[in-house]
Amino acid sequence: MKHAVTRQAAQGDVLFRKVDKLPSDAKLVERKGDLVVAHSETGHHHVVRELGVQHFDIGDPMICYLVSDGVPGFDVVHNRSFDTHGTLRLEGGVGSVWEVRRQREHTPEGWRRVED
């Protein structure tokens, strides 16, 4: 089942939040096939398949940005056949910007990325 999102939603350990614009230091990442939004330690990545979406990096492995370039909305799918997170339909129109953040947790050793 797809969940339509217009402002903010989480898919497991990944948070998607619509923002007004890209940061000034964002750099376009060359796309080769499916766009992996967040890698999973188990190989069950969070991906975008629509070609009209651009991926931007700001040098922080916990944050990236997606821009809808030519499509009014796009799906983020969790690649797992069992116990999967529902597909998110990120809406907002052509040119919409989505911030993607990985969840962090504090441990006695310090901060670390949550593993999904």
**pLDDT at residue number 43:** 63
Q: Residue 18: name the closest of 98, 75, 93 by CA.
A: 98
**pLDDT at residue number 73:** 93
Q: What is the pLDDT of residues 55-107, one digit of tens each?
A: 999 999 889 999 999 899 999 998 765 556 779 999 989 999 999 998 755 55
- pLDDT at 33 > cutoff 80: yes
- Percentage of the chain beyond pLDDT 70 is 80
Strand segments (E) across 1-96: 2-5, 8-11, 14-19, 27-29, 35-38, 46-48, 53-57, 63-68, 73-78, 87-91
Distance CA 101, CA 87 (A): 17
